[in-house]
Amino acid sequence: MKIIIDTDPGQDDALTILLALASPEIELLGVTTVAGNVPLAQTTENALKTLDLAGRPDIPVHAGADRPLLRPGVTATHVHGRTGFEGVDLPPPGRPATPGHAVDFIIRTVMDNPPGAITLCTIGPLTNIALALAREPRLRERIGRIVMMGCAFSEVGNITPAAEFNVYVDPHAAEMVFASGVPIVVFPLDVTHQLHTSAARLERIAAIPNRIGPVVAAWLRFEKRFEATKYGTDGGPLHDPNTVVWLLKPELYRGRQVNVQIETGSPLTMGMSVVDWWGVGTAPPNAVFMREVDVEGVYDLVVERLSRF
């Protein structure tokens, strides 16, 4: 599977990249960065650090949008720390970002491959993807699918009472993506909030006998402290890695085809994902929306893949 990961690293974004690199079923063509968890310069540096950690300086990293389409930027430094990589002190990256804008890289890569060949794994705000679709409308028929961490239904919001963070940061971009007609698979908070990074699960990761396992465990211990306190759980949710885990073992998840629309007009519910789970509306389905997950199966796969480094 040929994929591009569009991301705003973030500790669990880095885990997503590492899982892709550890999986021979996946060919990671490049990483594109966007402002989100931390500002763009920092997300780009963190992506480069992740690839250095994995020993993969051959993977291009293209910096993308430094702000949302229409709204002021929002970060999640209260969760991820100032750098987005708090928990482990990694050395500076050994190279700069690859020349060229992320949007140009996405367009060129999709258009240079056969229709349907490229999967976009989007684990941050959707600004780069919306810009690419606007710049090159033919992408709508060329992208194989978008596998997305974002949205919420029964779990409502994690950055406002109504909205999930990735969608809230750039709701207008999310609105464009869901209206594009590209096949979309969504991993919302309804899934990620079942995947607690418990002390026992982090110990399994920390015990992996290579450098990667202890780094990932330390990252997640830091990142998930805030959410564990907020939700009163043993560990916080595991968000972004579900995109790559699903590519590897889709049988670990269950969902259904639904219509998803994004609220962009109301200050109270800005960024809310309106999910027609029961089919009561008239709009046709535009996404597969996941709701159920085999929790232990996900963590077993994470440990097995990280052990390959």
CB-side exposure of 199: number of CA atoms within 13 Å?
A: 2
239 is a catalytic site residue: yes
Pairing of strands 184-187, 143-149: parallel
Q: Which of 16, 58, 57 is nearest to 219 (CA)?
A: 16
Residue type present at position 116 = G
Contact 293, 194 (CB under 8 A): yes
CB-side exposure of 180: number of CA atoms within 13 Å?
A: 30
Q: Which of 80, 193, 196, 239 is catalytic?
A: 239
Residue type present at position 293 = V
Q: In which residue are the tokens 């490229």 written?
A: 118
**How many whole angstroms separate alpha carbon 250 and alpha carbon 252?**
5
Q: Which of 93, 77, 90, 91 is nearest to 223 (CA)?
A: 77
DSSP code per residue over 212-253: HHHHHHHHHHHHHHHHHHHHTSSS----TTHHHHHHH-GGGE
Q: Which of 155, 117, 147, 125 is nearest to 246 (CA)?
A: 147
What's the DSSP call for residue 144? Answer: E
**How many whole angstroms separate alpha carbon 160 and alpha carbon 21?**
33
Q: How far is CA 57 from the centre of its chain?
A: 21
Q: Which residues are catalytic?
A: 239
